[in-house]
């Protein structure tokens, strides 16, 4: 049976009038919310999950709050996982306004310029965010109802968005609206970078002498060491005995001596000293040496000032003799409080033919002076580790940089001490004094407290015979 042709089920003009009235009503009695679409960065097609997302666009739209008496949902509840705020809200937005002013722009967001992906841009989408300014809250759309009211005059005019408070993991929220982005300033896993702004060049001097150990021949690198052995040289007649340390290496679970670094080449030897090895748990190591006599070489390098801000061992340059072989040195850096300093300079090659004390030049640390101010939400990158992270806060006085979403760099998660941390937007650059991967802000996590207290009571002296745990 066909419908009665004398009764219209909704003329287009009536439908347009209704839509206009609804739009007008929403603009008078609604709340201006911000619609934030989700971009997919990483998806898992086995578990059918979006692993990584970012929210970096925003669209204002008026919305009517259906539940005028407050949020629905279970409210603030204490769970075994801490505080969980289960506020929900139902919002009504104009279908026409969304389709005219948001959907076309959303469709243009996936322009292939980055690794993110936008899917389904013609309607409000479950998973997108709504910033509700009255409560300063981020709601996630969990369901879009498009048929309520049901085809009035033959058409639907609104979307009803059923929203729940967002559960944050490591999503990037960078809408460029400060009021929104800073809502998650203290949320999630936030770690601490202690930076140093001022680097200082290390200073060292050289001492020359004759009758020094010129070259060491490692005849047998030994085996079975558990730590570096003590290397002893027979006494020098001039009471300036050679001192050296062993650098160990492990191959196929066998630890042996890789090389011997000379701290002091000694002086006054008339015959090559004997070299003996003790301790370290290994056997078989043997070495001999030659001496340089009749001419002067650099017997030791004395570090006068270790400098500040050395993340990697700087190059050491010892000036050349007028006629002879130029000496070379190898530096070793280590922590000193919050700074990284040059601890030793080993004599790699004492050279020969020095008639006067040469000058020693140690290269500058990576960053002499920290510059700039890191910006909220900008990406920073470690110069050596390649690790990236997102800035949460920066205190220029204490030089504490709080970051989240720390990535995995060239080797492990986190940053190397001494490397330069460069803000990718601000250009700010400082050197890392230390990186602390403990959560700086989470008032839920007790992991660090457990670890601290457990250190007092758990006995780790018994190792696991089946391997390292």
Partner 1 sequence: MFGTYFYHEIIRKTVISFGTVFNDIHVRHQDNTGKDLVDTKVPIAYGPRQKFLARIQQQPDLNKAIAISLPRMSFEMTSVTYDPSRKSGITQTFKAKDGKKFKKVFMPVPYNLGFQLNILTKLQDDSLQILEQILPFFQPGYTLTVDLVNSIGEKRDIPLILNGISYSDDYEGNFDTRRALIYTLDFTAKSYMFGPIADTTDGLIRKVQVDYYSDTDTRTANREMRYRVESTAKKDYNDDQVIDAADNMLIEPGDDFGFTETREFFGDSKEYSPTRKIDI
Site residues, partner 1 (CB under 8 A): 40-44, 47, 49, 51-52, 76, 78, 80-87, 115, 117, 126, 135-138, 142-143, 162, 164-170, 183-184, 187-189, 405-408, 413-414, 437-439, 442-448, 450-451, 453-454, 456-462, 469
Smallest separation, CB 425 to partner 1 (Å): 18
How many whole angstroms separate alpha carbon 382 and alpha carbon 154? 59
CB of 34 to partner 1, least distance (A): 12
Residue closer to partner 1 by CB (options 220, 410) is 410
Q: Which is nearer to partner 1, 397 or 455 (CB)?
A: 455
Q: Calculate the alpha carbon distances from 172 to 3, 133, 149, 406, 438 in Å.
A: 53, 19, 35, 12, 20
Between residues 105 and 143, which has the closer beta carbon with respect to partner 1?
A: 143
Nearest CA to 412 among 433, 384, 447, 380? Answer: 384
Shortest Å distance, C-beta 60 to partner 1? 18
- Between 206 and 421, CB nearer to partner 1: 421
Closer CB to partner 1, residue 6 or residue 81? 81
User: Do the Cβ atoms of 327 and 206 come closer than 8 Å?
Assistant: yes
**DSSP single-letter state for residue 92:** E
Nearer to partner 1, 278 or 461 (CB): 461
Question: Minimum distance from CB of 158 to partner 1 (Å)?
Answer: 18
Distance CA 170, CA 178 (A): 18
Write phi, then psi, for 401 (nearest 5 degrees). -115, 115
- Of the chain, the end-to-end C-alpha distance in Å amounts to 78
Place of tokens 């040469």: 358
d(CA 457, CA 451): 10
DSSP 95-141: HHHHHHHTHHHHHHH--SSSS-B----SS--TT-EEEETTTTEEEEE
Nearer to partner 1, 189 or 269 (CB): 189
Q: How far, in Å, CA of 290 to CA of 273, rounded?
A: 8
Q: Helix or strand or coil: residue 10?
A: coil
Least distance to partner 1 from the beta carbon of 234, Å?
A: 36
Cα angle 435, 439, 444 (rounded to 5 degrees) comes to: 170
Task: Tell me whether strands 49-55 and 172-173 are parallel, antiparallel or unpaired.
Answer: parallel
Q: How far is the CB of 373 from partner 1 (least distance, A)?
A: 24
Angle, vertex CA 445, rays to CA 441 and CA 447, nearest 5: 120
- We find the least distance from the C-beta atom of residue 440 to partner 1, in angstroms, to be 11
Cβ 260 vs Cβ 251: under 8 Å: no
CB of 332 to partner 1, least distance (A): 30
Q: Can you read off the two tokens belonging to residue 404?
A: 């989240």
- Nearer of residues 49 and 69 to partner 1, judged by Cβ: 49
Output the CA angle 45-50-51, nearest 5 degrees. Answer: 100
Residues 291 and 238: beta-carbon distance below 8 Å: no
**Shortest Å, Cβ 122 to partner 1:** 19
Question: Long-range CB contacts (< 8 A, 24+ apart) of 113-122?
Answer: 115/41, 116/39, 116/40, 116/41, 116/54, 117/39, 117/40, 117/41, 117/43, 118/37, 118/39, 118/40, 119/40, 121/37
Q: Which is nearer to partner 1, 39 or 97 (CB)?
A: 39
Q: How far is the CB of 388 from partner 1 (least distance, A)?
A: 9
Coil vs helix vs strand at 375: coil
Q: Which is nearer to partner 1, 77 or 270 (CB)?
A: 77
Least separation in angstroms between residue 163's CB and partner 1 is: 11
The residue among 25 and 162 lying less far from partner 1, judged by its C-beta, is: 162
């Amino acid at each position: 049976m066909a419908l009665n042709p004398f009764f219209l089920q909704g003329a287009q003009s009536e439908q347009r009038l209704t839509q206009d009235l609804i739009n007008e009503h929403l603009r008078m009695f609604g709340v201006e919310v911000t619609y934030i679409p989700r971009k997919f960065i990483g998806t898992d097609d086995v578990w059918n999950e979006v692993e990584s997302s970012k929210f970096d666009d925003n669209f204002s739209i008026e919305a009517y709050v259906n539940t005028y008496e407050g949020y629905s949902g279970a409210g603030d509840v204490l769970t075994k996982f801490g505080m969980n705020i289960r506020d929900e809200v139902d919002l009504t937005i104009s279908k026409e306004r969304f389709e005219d002013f948001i959907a076309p722009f959303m469709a243009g967001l996936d322009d292939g310029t980055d690794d993110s992906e936008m899917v389904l841009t013609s309607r409000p989408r479950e998973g997108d965010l709504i910033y509700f300014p009255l409560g300063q809250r981020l709601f996630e759309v969990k369901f879009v109802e498009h048929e309520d009211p049901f085809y009035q005059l033959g058409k639907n005019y609104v979307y009803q968005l059923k929203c729940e408070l967002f559960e944050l993991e490591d999503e990037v929220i960078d809408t460029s609206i400060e009021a929104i982005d800073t809502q998650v300033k203290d949320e999630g896993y936030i770690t601490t970078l202690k930076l140093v702004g001022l680097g200082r060049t290390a200073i060292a001097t050289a001492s020359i002498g004759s009758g020094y150990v010129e070259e060491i021949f490692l005849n047998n690198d030994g085996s079975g060491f558990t730590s570096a052995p003590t290397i002893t040289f027979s006494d020098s007649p001039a009471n300036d005995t050679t001192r050296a340390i062993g650098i160990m290496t492990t191959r196929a679970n066998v630890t042996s001596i890789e090389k011997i670094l000379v701290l002091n080449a000694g002086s006054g030897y008339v015959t090559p000293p004997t070299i003996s090895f003790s301790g370290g748990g290994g056997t078989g190591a043997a070495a001999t040496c030659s001496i340089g006599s009749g001419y002067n070489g650099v017997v030791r390098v004395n570090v006068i000032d270790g400098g500040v801000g050395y993340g990697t061992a700087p190059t050491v340059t010892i000036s050349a003799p007028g006629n002879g072989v130029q000496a070379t040195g190898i530096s070793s850096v280590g922590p000193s409080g919050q700074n990284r300093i040059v601890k030793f300079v080993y004599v790699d090659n004492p050279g020969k033919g020095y008639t006067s004390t040469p000058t020693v030049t140690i290269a500058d640390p990576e960053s002499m002076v920290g510059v700039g101010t890191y910006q909220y939400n900008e990406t920073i990158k470690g110069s050596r580790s390649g690790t990236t992270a997102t800035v949460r806060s920066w205190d220029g006085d204490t030089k504490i940089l709080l970051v989240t979403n720390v990535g995995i760099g060239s080797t492990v998660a986190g940053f190397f001490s001494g490397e330069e941390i460069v803000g990718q937007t601000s250009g700010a650059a400082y050197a890392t004094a230390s990186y602390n991967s403990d959560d700086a802000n989470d008032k839920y996590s007790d992991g660090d407290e457990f670890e601290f207290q457990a250190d007092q009571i758990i006995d780790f002296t018994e190792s696991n015979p089946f391997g390292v745990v």
